[in-house]
Structure 1
Amino acid sequence: MKYFMAALSMLCMGTIAAQNLKGQVVDEAGSALEDVGIFNKTNGQHSHSDGTGHFVLDQTSVNDTIYFSRLGFETLTKVITPSDLNNPVTIVLKEGSISLDQVVLVAKVDALSRVVDVDVKTNPVKSSQEILRKVPGLIIGQHAGGGKAEQLFLRGFDVDHGTDVAISVDGMPVNMVSHAHGQGYADLHFVIPETIENVNFGKGPYYMEQGDFNTAGYVDLRLRKRLDKSMLSTEVGQFNTRRFMGMFNVLDQGKSTAYLASELYLTDGAFDSPQNFNRLNIMGRYRYALPGDQELLLTASHFSSKWDASGQIPQRAIDQGLIGRFGGIDDTEGGQTSRTNFILDHNKNLGTGKSLHTMAFVSHYDFELYSNFTFFLEDPVNGDQIRQKENRILMGAKTVFQDNSAQLGELRFKYNAGIGFRYDNVDDMELSHTRNRQELLERLAYGDVDEVNTYGFAGAVFKSGKFTLEPAVRLDYFKFDYLNKLSTVYDNQSDEKVAFSPKFNTIYSPTENTQIFLKTGIGFHSNDTRVVVANNGKDILPAAYGIDLGTIIRPADKLVLNATLWSLFLDQEFVYVGDAGVVEPSGKTRRLGIEVGARYQPSDWIYLYTDANFTQGRSTEEAKGEDYIPLAPDFTMVGGVTLGNNNEGFSGGISYRYVDDRPANEDNSIVAEGYFVTDATLNYSLRNWTFGLIVENLFDTEWNETQFATESRLFNEPTAVEEIHFTPGTPFYLRGKVTVSF
């Protein structure tokens, strides 16, 4: 061990003359700026400001050139003087138009997320459905009236509603463990799109702070800490659509800021049976700068939604003239859900490059969903409608310590470590057979779930010349408990399990505009508590083994290219099928893929982007030809162009998404059809008013948004038929929008 430390010390030791550059980054109003990128052009060292705006950049020498960059602000270049190294500096960044050259390619494992953040800033999210589409390669599909969480696809995974993508909002988990409808269920509809500051993401299992569900990747939405201006917006469109949104700056006193945001969304949708959809969102956020370089952030939000739906339909019902393309076999489907959240964030600068971040959250969540996937297959008289219902309390906390200027002898490095927990208490989790959303025919499953996840993680960053090495490790402990209320005797079962997840990432930066990375790591996703007790605690935390080899380059100031070769192997798992109340085993899988992307901004008023993803996914334990992974996309492509600067005059954009044909079953005998859909926006801004048009499916393409190979029986059929069942994609959909800021 001592020889290893000596070698590492020689590899990473800084020059004698190098010192630490310390200070704080603020905007022109004097407010602290978080997550400002600080990059030493001379030696490649990098850092970032913490929640209080403070930073430490080690191994800095006189005459070094330092960049300070953050999207929406002009990049500041500073040449270091002797006095800068003797006293803390204050860096003031001026606001500027969003520009791709504001992104500095620092050697970080999530560097691509910083580049893609320009997409969000130049073309802000317009709806809750659009949030996850900002992640390159992540495709979504809605198939239950707009109120149900979207189906997700990423890196050759049919993620269902979140089984293999960890989703969070300001660190609060969105994925629901042991959910009534399906494991990992992630409903983001409680987020008001205009409150989003940026969308952080990473692909693969390489991130120590991401635990459960982080196999294909993770997405963490960051909300605005404060508002520059208040805003009112109204939106009216086809299908009896109306949306009203307001964000109000209620307090702005320097150290104290607060705002309120609300949203009401109503629509009937394009379906023959009106969806009667309504969603209400309310959010409040208070920020206070405490004495001693501390920041306190309190967030409270409430969301409720109710809708009717027509569900997935079989093609043969349309061919027989029983229904139209937007008709339904059972139009009494639908549901209702609500979620109330409280989040507390505390940041403290401890000096000399050290900081402490603590967050805690508590949520109350209700869910009730009525579905009918097989129509009259199981019950020819009453039909096969099911109800899934639950009542949940979710709480947790996490503390992370970070040191950006650690030193052991002559070995200089950065490290952070954290601990946390999550507790889910789910009462009256139910799967029942119902009729017409009114009559309870039979309870198929009914019980209470208690699940605890405690975890710890630690990692370090070593810099040696043009190499950055990032070893990390994570340890998760799970305790599962299920009380079966259908049993005539007391039936409570429990199990526990530990997951060990090491990571090691290497980044090589031959120039300030080029980086090559090799990411390796192990991740996992948990299984439903009902799977755990049914399987006696075996094979319940299947591991995912990933490796990425790629590059990000900037051949010109306003052009960024990226490419990645990747592979992911997933262990044996047992999946709980919430729609049927059964445990369904699946074997080991292998996925190989390539991703490429480009972003180009030839001027301040035009921005172009595109991303393409190819994946080959196969089950490794099945015979060739019978080893396809159902519904896993093998080729997707998204892109678009944004025009204007959203300040004065005209602006807008056009975007597209393409999904290739993909297998719907294991032998590819049933195929889910691909699609190419184009959306567009047009805005005109005059002083504090903005008038806009939003068009979804500009060319009125006939497409299927979600598709499943399902065995079903219609009321007039003697036997069952297996074929594609689908939810039709939105046709040409026009909305008008007026926004005023003050």
Structure 2
Amino acid sequence: MKIILGVLLVLLLSPLYGQNLSGNVENPKGLPIENANIFNKTSGQHNHTNATGYFKLANTKAGDSIYFSSLGYETLLFQPTTEEINGSVTIILVPQSLSLDQVVLVSEINQLSRIVDIDTKVNPVKSSQEILRKVPGLIIGQHAGGGKAEQIFLRGFDIDHGTDLSLNVDGMPVNMVSHAHGQGYSDLHFIIPETIENIEFGKGPFYADYGNFDTAGFINLQLRDAVDDNYIALEAGQFDTQRLVGMFPVLKKEYSSAYLASEIYFTDGPVESPQNFNRINILGKYLYNKPGEEKLDITASHFQSKWDASGQIPQRAVDAGLITRFGAIDDTEGGETSRTNLTLDYDKNLGGNDSSKTNAFVSHYDFELYSNFTFFLEDPVNGDQIRQKEDRYIIGASTAFERKNIDLGTFDVEFETGVGFRYDDVNDVELSRTKNRRETLENLSFGDVDELNGYGYFNAEFETGDWKFNPALRLDYFKFDYVNDLSETYDNRSEDKVAFSPKFNILYTPSPKTQFFLKSGIGFHSNDTRVVVANEGEDILPAAYGLDLGTIIKPVDRLVLNAAVWSLFLEQEFVYVGDAGIVEPSGKSRRLGAEVGARYQLNDWLYAYSDVNYTYARSTEEPEGADFIPLAPDLTASGGLIVDDLGPFSGSMVYRYVDDRPANEDDSINAEGYFITDLNLNYTRGSWTYGIIIENLFDTEWNETQFATESRLFNEPEPVEEIHFTPGTPFFIRGKVSVRF
């Protein structure tokens, strides 16, 4: 501890030496460009702009060759004069069609995320489901009528709805702790796809500013700060599908702007019992941005949806001709949910090399879900339908201080330290047996959850020559409290615990075209409060131990390749329990994996990418042959061709592939893989764009989600364990018309 305090004291009080170049990077409209790369080819020094567009580059001399670059802008070569050194300059970057030419490999811990961001910019997401698919190796599936959060697969995990992936939007957490349906439940349907600016992600537990659920990785969606034009789009297609979206700038001043966005979506889906799905989103964002000084944005949004669902169906019912693949055993499933958010982000330059950033949020969320996984297994008369329900308030805040360009002789150092908290007040968390979504037959659990997570972290980067060393520490405190409202007497139980998560990453960047990395760290996911108090505090914060070794190279200007091998050991898994509709903790597991990716700009208008991921996942506490992790994918792939700015034409053809995988612990039941291709084509004339969107272009028969579940149909004498599935969308075409004005 004395050593750590000593290092902190040196970093905070260390004087600065050498010559510096500082200033702002802006676009031609005077708006700051965040995360622009600044690379001094002469000295090897690099940096990037903060949220206000401000930068400071150390050890810079007159005449040095300094490159300023950002996706979507021409790379600018700047050679400062003597007068500009130790002064302030304004760099204007000119917009340019996106190209891999603009990618410069610098010693950043999360370099791959910056590169993959080009996938999003040249081929923007067109639906909520597409948001997460932009992350290489991430596969999703929907299995409850479109209103329920997607099931997520990444790095050999069946993450369910978010147990091992930290999801955030502009710094606001999406994962729901101690949720009525499952731990870490993450519903991203409150995001309007057109408002997404970029997707920041990282795989593994290597990032000190992300805590709970950051085991397989994290994702932070960043929304647009502003819109330039009015935008209206209308979609219509098969299955009675309609979608209307609009974005409107409502304020434009020198430093201030604001816009409104909204979305309305309806569909019955491809199933025989109409989904009657409807969703509405409303978002407003205000921005005050004074380049080089401060940035404030305030975002308010509201989302609500309702739907019916056919649920998961047993394979034997289809094989026997009782129902079709798009039929239902219990079509009274479904639900409704809503979320209202208010977030604030404030970034401030404190002078010189110091800056701060503050985030605060408050959210109100409610949820009601009806499911029937086992049909008549438990109740042969009324059926096994369950209701899961909750009403929640979330509040939280964080603040961080950053100092850059600290000269410690051999090392150029920067550090960031931050503190924050999140508090969840969850009322009337319910699991009940119901009938026809109207009659409550039995309350299985009912109570109130209060969960507090306070944290602090310290992240430092020591750079010398081509090397960067990144030690980091994170400390989390959790307080779990549960009141059981089914008890005849007052029953309030509490537990608390601290998690200590060290990280250490090493980068070697011998040139702007080559990077090698070694990442290591400990992360964790918390357990449901109800599990925590029931087990009297055992296994509250099971840890994840991760290691990544990989490289990113750019052998030619328009080709970027990445590869990595990795391992991850978890102290505890989660297992889906179909008959109760919940997840419960189990034993230890290990994963070993390899991933490769390629992005190639064939010419100015044609872009290709592909990612392939392999994982070996096993439980470590079970005998060989009974140690498979159910639904953990071993081989996945995704990629495609993107056409951008080919005269008036643009579009893409993309694919995703999942191999067959075990559905239970001994692999006696298998979940079938699939290969799906999607297509979209656009034609722009003036301010109007006409498009066609086709999901499942070749009309492949596939199962979107699958589970090994024991169930009993009406009048069946004995239960059967087999694959239960949700059918994947067949050929699905819709047209789109949009206009900017």
Q: Under a length normalisation based on structure 2, what TM-score does the superposition of the two structures give?
A: 0.97
Deviation of the 1:64 alpha carbon: 2.0
State the partner residue of 1:246.
246
**1:603 aligns to what SS in structure 2?**
coil
- Cα gap change, 1:345/1:458 in structure 2, threshold over 3 Å: closer, same or farther? same
Deviation of the 1:322 alpha carbon: 1.0
State the partner residue of 1:699.
698
Deviation of the 1:289 alpha carbon: 3.0
State the partner residue of 1:67.
67
Deviation of the 1:293 alpha carbon: 1.5
Q: Separation in 1 of the partners of 2:699 and 2:139?
A: 19
**1:438-495: CA deviation from partner (whole Å, max 9, x where unpaired):** 1110100000000000000011111111101111000000000000000000000000
Greater displacement, 31-40 / 335-344: 31-40
Q: Separation in 2 of the partners of 1:259 and 1:57?
A: 34
Deviation of the 1:291 alpha carbon: 9.8
- Structure 2 contact 453–477 (Cα < 8 Å) conserved: yes
State the partner residue of 2:272.
272
Deviation of the 1:192 alpha carbon: 0.1
Deviation of the 1:715 alpha carbon: 0.3
- Structure 1 contact 294–349 (Cα < 8 Å) conserved: yes
Deviation of the 1:39 alpha carbon: 1.5
- Structure 2 contact 182–582 (Cα < 8 Å) conserved: no
State the partner residue of 1:730.
729
State the partner residue of 1:118.
118
Deviation of the 1:171 alpha carbon: 0.3
**2:488 aligns to what SS in structure 1?**
coil
- Structure 2 contact 149–161 (Cα < 8 Å) conserved: yes
Instruction: Please state if 1:545 is matched with 2:545.
Output: yes
- Cα gap change, 1:35/1:291 in structure 2, threshold over 3 Å: closer, same or farther? closer
- Structure 1 contact 345–360 (Cα < 8 Å) conserved: yes
State the partner residue of 2:197.
197
State the partner residue of 2:316.
316
State the partner residue of 1:85.
85
**2:499 aligns to what SS in structure 1?**
strand
Q: Separation in 2 of the partners of 1:412 and 1:116?
A: 28
State the partner residue of 1:651.
650
**1:383-419: CA deviation from partner (whole Å, max 9, x where unpaired):** 0000000000011001011111224577531000100
- Cα gap change, 1:114/1:583 in structure 2, threshold over 3 Å: closer, same or farther? closer
Instruction: Please state if 1:633 is matched with 2:647.
Output: no
Percentage of pairs with the same residue:
66
Deviation of the 1:584 alpha carbon: 3.8
Greater displacement, 22-31 / 515-524: 22-31
Deviation of the 1:35 alpha carbon: 1.4
- Structure 2 contact 24–292 (Cα < 8 Å) conserved: no
Equivalent residues in 2 for 1:453-532, closer than 5 Å = 453-532=453-532
State the partner residue of 1:679.
678
Q: Separation in 2 of the partners of 1:570 and 1:3?
A: 30
**1:210 aligns to what SS in structure 2?**
coil
Q: Separation in 2 of the partners of 1:360 and 1:157?
A: 31
Q: Separation in 1 of the partners of 2:234 and 2:7?
A: 63
- Cα gap change, 1:578/1:316 in structure 2, threshold over 3 Å: closer, same or farther? closer
Greater displacement, 409-418 / 259-268: 409-418
State the partner residue of 2:739.
740
State the partner residue of 1:721.
720
Q: Separation in 2 of the partners of 1:291 and 1:124?
A: 27
**1:329 aligns to what SS in structure 2?**
coil
Deviation of the 1:511 alpha carbon: 1.4
Greater displacement, 84-93 / 299-308: 84-93
- Cα gap change, 1:112/1:599 in structure 2, threshold over 3 Å: closer, same or farther? same
- Cα gap change, 1:297/1:578 in structure 2, threshold over 3 Å: closer, same or farther? farther
**1:369 aligns to what SS in structure 2?**
strand
Deviation of the 1:581 alpha carbon: 7.6
Greater displacement, 731-740 / 46-55: 46-55
State the AA in 1 paired with 2:483.
L
- Structure 1 contact 31–254 (Cα < 8 Å) conserved: no
Q: Separation in 1 of the partners of 2:610 and 2:504?
A: 29
- Structure 1 contact 514–554 (Cα < 8 Å) conserved: yes
Q: Separation in 1 of the partners of 2:7 and 2:89?
A: 34
State the partner residue of 2:231.
231
- Structure 1 contact 250–259 (Cα < 8 Å) conserved: yes
Q: Separation in 2 of the partners of 1:360 and 1:530?
A: 27
Q: Separation in 1 of the partners of 2:721 and 2:6?
A: 65
Deviation of the 1:350 alpha carbon: 1.0
Deviation of the 1:61 alpha carbon: 2.4
State the partner residue of 2:331.
331
**2:50 aligns to what SS in structure 1?**
coil
**1:228 aligns to what SS in structure 2?**
coil
Q: Separation in 2 of the partners of 1:514 and 1:381?
A: 66
Deviation of the 1:678 alpha carbon: 0.2
In the alignment, structure 1 segments of 5+ residues that lack a partner are none
**1:82 aligns to what SS in structure 2?**
coil
**1:657 aligns to what SS in structure 2?**
strand
State the AA in 2 paired with 1:470.
N
Deviation of the 1:290 alpha carbon: 5.8
Greater displacement, 404-413 / 329-338: 404-413
Instruction: Please state if 1:351 is matched with 2:351.
Output: yes
How many residues are matched?
A: 738
- Structure 2 contact 374–579 (Cα < 8 Å) conserved: no
**1:704-726: CA deviation from partner (whole Å, max 9, x where unpaired):** 00000000000031000000000
**1:644 aligns to what SS in structure 2?**
strand
Deviation of the 1:421 alpha carbon: 0.2
State the partner residue of 1:167.
167
Q: Separation in 2 of the partners of 1:532 and 1:419?
A: 25
**1:85 aligns to what SS in structure 2?**
coil
Q: Separation in 1 of the partners of 2:315 and 2:4?
A: 65
- Cα gap change, 1:5/1:249 in structure 2, threshold over 3 Å: closer, same or farther? closer
Deviation of the 1:576 alpha carbon: 8.8
Equivalent residues in 2 for 1:138-157, closer than 5 Å = 138-157=138-157
In the alignment, structure 2 segments of 5+ residues that lack a partner are none
State the partner residue of 2:688.
689
Greater displacement, 250-259 / 729-738: 250-259
- Cα gap change, 1:75/1:719 in structure 2, threshold over 3 Å: closer, same or farther? same
- Structure 2 contact 24–291 (Cα < 8 Å) conserved: no
State the partner residue of 1:606.
606
**1:565-608: CA deviation from partner (whole Å, max 9, x where unpaired):** 00000013577969728784411101000000000002110000
State the partner residue of 2:23.
23
State the AA in 2 paired with 1:68.
F
- Structure 1 contact 540–574 (Cα < 8 Å) conserved: no
- Structure 2 contact 483–492 (Cα < 8 Å) conserved: yes
State the partner residue of 1:256.
256
**1:189-246: CA deviation from partner (whole Å, max 9, x where unpaired):** 0000000000000000000111000000000000000012220000000000000000
- Structure 2 contact 399–418 (Cα < 8 Å) conserved: yes
State the partner residue of 1:536.
536
- Structure 2 contact 23–292 (Cα < 8 Å) conserved: no
State the AA in 2 paired with 1:364.
H
State the partner residue of 1:210.
210
State the partner residue of 1:436.
436
Q: Separation in 2 of the partners of 1:290 and 1:38?
A: 20
* RMSD (Å) for aligned C-alpha atoms: 2.2
**1:263-308: CA deviation from partner (whole Å, max 9, x where unpaired):** 0000000000000000000000000136981221010000000000
State the AA in 1 paired with 2:637.
M
Q: Separation in 2 of the partners of 1:200 and 1:695?
A: 27
State the AA in 1 paired with 2:508.
Y
**2:147 aligns to what SS in structure 1?**
coil
Q: Under a length normalisation based on structure 1, what TM-score does the superposition of the two structures give?
A: 0.97
State the AA in 2 paired with 1:458.
F
**1:388 aligns to what SS in structure 2?**
strand
**1:175 aligns to what SS in structure 2?**
coil
**2:125 aligns to what SS in structure 1?**
coil
- Structure 1 contact 699–732 (Cα < 8 Å) conserved: yes
- Cα gap change, 1:271/1:59 in structure 2, threshold over 3 Å: closer, same or farther? same
